[in-house]
Amino acid sequence: MAKSLTSHRPVLAVTLKLSALFLFTSMSALVKALSGDFPPGELVFFRSLFAVPVIIIWLISRGELAQGFVVKKPMGHFWRGVLGTTAMGLTFTGLSLLPLPEVTAIGYATPIFTLILAAVMLGERIRMIRIGAVVLGLLGVLIMIWPRLGSNDMETAATIGALCVLAATIARAFVQIHIRQLVQVDHPAAIVFYFSVTAALLSGLTAFWGWTMPTWEQTALLVAMGLIGGVAQILVTSSYRFGQASMLAPYDYTSMLFAIVIGYVWFGELPTVAILIGAALVIAGNVVVIWREHQLGLERGKARSLTDHKP
């Protein structure tokens, strides 16, 4: 029987979330460091394959291994894998061409695109407050990528990198919409497990286009990249067992601080003024959405309370 957590432990939840964000940022730095020697498909393969044993151990410890293997919509998991693998490959390509803080900042646009897709695909209503948040977020994205698109040479590496990361954020938004539908029929453990398996299989197909044989030292780094990603995935999932999503969501933006520090120490990179301004606008837009969702949640809870107490 799966364990259940009933206590609200905000300090532990925040600690787990921050640890996960630091590990994800460190993993991205590893990807960037290795991207000069390996194609993105090979990096996605190692990232996904070596996350699998970590996830299996976690599922066993949770008593959820059986739920992790059983699915009702196998094709749903396949398409989730296709979308997620595409997003990961595009992000890894962007990391090879852009500074780490810039990739991190553009990635913050995912919730904005998710909100737009939820309205288009799921028919969710977007009122003026959230429309304003979307406009603010899209303005921030435009400010961040405009210096790259403003070049006369559209084939420059930086331009390609910016477009890849932007496409990755849109792909991740599709993933979020897909997961909303998938969790209605399948256990979250199955979604986590089968994504890693599917991503490893799909990225493994890129071997036909040529992979690089790693040295022993590089193999250790590639394996570490996958293990770190698996542990980070577990930590961020576990954090939501101890704290509400609305409470933890603002901490996502600490990854920008991690990216700036790691990017400067490891690669000598610093974010430009345009990136800082654009990131601030995107973050502001996301915070408005988080606040509005919290307010709506309180209103729904109050309405349910009044209904429950009717004679």
Q: Could you report the per-residue pLDDT of 266-301, keeping only the tens digit for each?
A: 999 999 999 999 999 999 988 887 777 666 554 444
pLDDT over threshold 80, residue 303:
no
Dist. CA 137–CA 109, nearest whole Å: 7
For the entire predicted model, the pTM comes to 0.88
Q: pLDDT tens-digit profile of 135-166?
A: 999 999 999 998 887 655 555 888 999 999 99
Confidence band, pLDDT 50/70/90 cuts, at residue 7: low
Confidence band, pLDDT 50/70/90 cuts, at residue 101: very high
Give buried/exposed letters for 25-56 (b at 16+ CB in 10 A, else e): bbbbbbbbebbeebbbbbbbbbbbbbbbebbb
**Angle at the Cα of 71 from the Cα atoms of 67 and 73, rounded to 5 degrees:** 155
- pLDDT, greater one: 183 or 273: 273
Q: pLDDT tens-digit profile of 186-230?
A: 888 888 899 999 999 999 999 999 999 999 999 999 999 999 999
Are 172 and 110 a contacting pair, CB within 8 Å? yes
Query: Nearest-CA neighbor of 293 among 251, 255, 252, 250?
Result: 250
Are 286 and 133 a contacting pair, CB within 8 Å? yes
pLDDT over threshold 60, residue 112:
yes
